[in-house]
Chains A and B, each alone.
Chain A
Amino acid sequence: MSIASRRRTSTVITYVLLALLAVYTLFPFLWMVMSALKPANEIRARTPSFLIAAPTLDNFVRVLVQHDFLVYIRNSLVVSLAACALSLVISLLAGYVFSRNYRMKAVQTTNFAMLVSQMIPGVLLLVPLYITMRNLGLLDSYGALILAYTTFVIPLSTFMLSSAYDSIPTSLEEAAEIDGASRLRTLTSVVIPVMVPSIVSVGLYAFITAWNEFMFGYIFTSTDALRTITPAIMLFKGANTVDWGGLMAASVIAVLPVAIIFLFLQRYFISGLMSGAVKG
């Protein structure tokens, strides 16, 4: 075989494999959206079809109106945005000293503690966390979820932001310092404005983690009015019957905000995630 034709075959093979990969990752979404648009009789067809005979928005209407999904969306938004803001403030501060004062004992200890804390996941602390939240009177409130989500994203957010600070020259701060600005002032008015892309990616990470979290939302809230979207989806799974059309419509609604944000900001997101993951 000539080199050119060999190269052509390998390109074809690459495309075939890439297409298979895309089918593997995207098919469930495609099927989710299609099922959400199918009327009840087509959902329950013995042989499911790739075409929708009579597309309908009934499932979405039912989910939003009858099942109060607007309330769950609002709850998820409030909790995720609050957790996102809170964890950004905390890890912007911690990440800064992680980057600038790495040699200090206090910083190294904190770094190690954060690394370890990333390895102690929620389920092992479920019981005492539940009891703590109950004692604080925070069960069935946004507070319990905001505090829990913030805590569990702090380590990775700090690692991500500290590596972002690493790429900003200290001369920038020194100039401000000579002008007589305080450390905090320098940080907020000189350093942070340069960090916007990294802050966006860390904020996204925190928001998406909170939006997608299930276990704490499921266990810390039992009032319907405060339920977040992921535990609400689980409610569709009844003991005997499942409203699959409604369930798939609800799933589309839960995925949509994250998918839209991601499509716009994927460049920042992936690079930010990587710098944190490799470092941590």
Chain B
Amino acid sequence: MQSMRVGDVSRTRSNRRFTILALAPAWLFLAALIGYPLVSVLTDAFSHAHLVNGDVGGFAGLENFEKVVSDPHFGPAVRNTLVWTVGSVVGEFVIGLGAAVLLNVRVRGQGFFRVATFIPWLVPIVVAGMTWEWILNPDFGIFNSLLTQSGLVESPINFLGDKNWAMATVVFVNIWRTFPYYTISFLAAMQAIPNELYEAASLDGAGAWRRFWSVTMPQLRSVSLIIVFIHLIWTAVNFDFIWVMTQGGPNYATITLPILIYRYSLQQYDVGAASALSTLMLIATSLVFVVYYRYRRRLSEETVG
């Protein structure tokens, strides 16, 4: 009896040691390359700091925040970030869900269509951006050529060069590249729905439309929650797409907060201002995360019971 307990204690202890050792490398990476930079952003936001000139320093109070908020581009950047984020996520959700429903139907060639749908997500953002830029080019682009030939428009549209079109265009390209992720997630969730639910609904006389709304959609709630919230954050902070396609132009029509952060830091070398803006964005994304986390808790309590 006694010896067994001693054995148990040493067993838990060695188990503990093994766990800590196994987690150590991950902790090391996360602490050095996410934790430490995170702390620096928060402290630099309240300091005078310059990327190149090390002599600049000292406590700045709220100066950086005042500077960032009173920047004439701040308001438009906030608005653009919202348009970019909400527009992208709504479009991705709708197309992603529609594609998943289609790909869930048993037809010949299903495998081909699934692979074809997933492909945009594999493409580097630079390639996606540049290829669409080429397709939408006002002088030699195929899309404008088709539009003018068919008589839909009189003269080619400068999709990325016209400030009225630029934001809609980058949102469109982002949707094209990102919706497959939603599709794959929805497909996986749909395949987990027991067939009996559909059979029961059919027996009750529910048509395809009704079955979709009362059987499929409720079962997709949890996966929808995860992808929508993750993509709200990922889209809001995305730098690559807009930088590759418009660099925030034309005439600041597509400037978003991440582009402003880049401009402050690597073009004006104003680390303080860049950190203050990053801090503001961190606060906003944390709020989104907290809402998500609470919803998810509630949802898993509901489903588990």
Contact = CB atoms under 8 A, between A and B. Distances in A.
Interface of A: 11, 14-15, 17-18, 21-22, 24-29, 31-32, 35, 43-48, 89-91, 93-94, 96-97, 101, 104, 106-107, 110, 113-114, 116-132, 147-148, 150-151, 154, 158, 183-184, 208, 211-215, 219, 229-231, 233-234, 236-237, 244, 247-248, 251, 254-255, 258-259, 262-263, 266, 270-271, 273-274, 277-278, 280
Interface of B: 14-16, 18-23, 25-27, 29-30, 32-34, 36-38, 40-41, 44, 51, 99, 102-103, 105, 107, 109, 112-113, 115-120, 122-128, 130-132, 134-135, 137, 139-142, 145, 149, 176, 180-181, 184-185, 188-189, 223, 226-227, 230, 233-234, 237-240, 243-244, 258, 261-262, 265-266, 271, 274-275, 278, 281-282, 285-286, 289
The binding surface of chain A is classed by DSSP as: helix
B25 A90 contact: yes
B125 A46 contact: no
The binding surface of chain B is classed by DSSP as: helix
A49 to B, nearest CB: 9
A244 B176 CA distance: 21
Contact of B134 (A27, A35, A119): A35
Contacts of B233: 119, 121
Contact of B126 (A46, A150, A233): A233
Given A25-B117, A125-B278, A278-B223, 18 more contacts: A14-B105, A22-B113, A25-B116, A44-B140, A47-B145, A48-B140, A93-B26, A97-B19, A119-B230, A127-B271, A127-B278, A128-B275, A158-B26, A184-B18, A208-B122, A251-B127, A278-B188, A280-B226
Contacts of B119: 25-26, 29, 259, 262
Contacts of A255: 122-124, 127
Contacts of B180: 25
A125 B41 contact: yes
Given A107-B23, A248-B134, A90 B29 contact: yes
Nearest to A26: B116
A271 B118 CA distance: 13
10 contacts: A18-B103, A31-B134, A97-B19, A110-B23, A125-B278, A126-B262, A132-B33, A184-B18, A236-B130, A280-B226
Contacts of A29: 119, 131
B51 A127 contact: yes
A31 B123 CA distance: 14
B263 to A, nearest CB: 12
Contacts of A45: 140
Nearest to A20: B102
Contacts of B184: 270, 273-274
B240 A215 contact: yes
Given A47-B145, A254-B127, A97 B102 contact: no
A123 B258 contact: yes
Contacts of A158: 26
A151 B127 contact: no
A215 B183 CA distance: 26
A165 to B, nearest CB: 12
Nearest to B191: A274
Contacts of B185: 274, 277-278
Contacts of A214: 124-126, 240, 244
Nearest to A157: B26
A106 B34 CA distance: 18
A94 B22 contact: yes
Which A-B residue pairs are the 9 nearest by beta carbons?
Answer: A128-B40, A128-B37, A212-B124, A125-B37, A151-B33, A93-B22, A274-B188, A94-B26, A251-B127
A129 B33 contact: yes
B25 A119 contact: no
A104 B137 CA distance: 56
Given A124-B237, A251-B127, A101 B19 contact: yes
B37 A129 contact: yes
B54 to A, nearest CB: 10
Contact of B37 (A93, A101, A132, A262): A132
Contacts of A43: 140
A151 B137 CA distance: 37
Contacts of A126: 239, 261-262, 265-266, 274, 278
B37 A107 contact: no
A104 B20 CA distance: 10
A277 B227 CA distance: 8
A134 B125 CA distance: 26
Which residue of A17, A25, A270 has the most chain B CB atoms within 10 A of its CB atom? A25
A184 B239 CA distance: 41
A120 B123 contact: no
A85 B139 CA distance: 45
A129 B112 CA distance: 41
A234 B29 contact: no
Given A25-B120, A104-B16, A46 B38 contact: no
Contacts of A18: 102-103, 107, 109, 113
A259 B122 contact: yes
Nearest to B41: A128
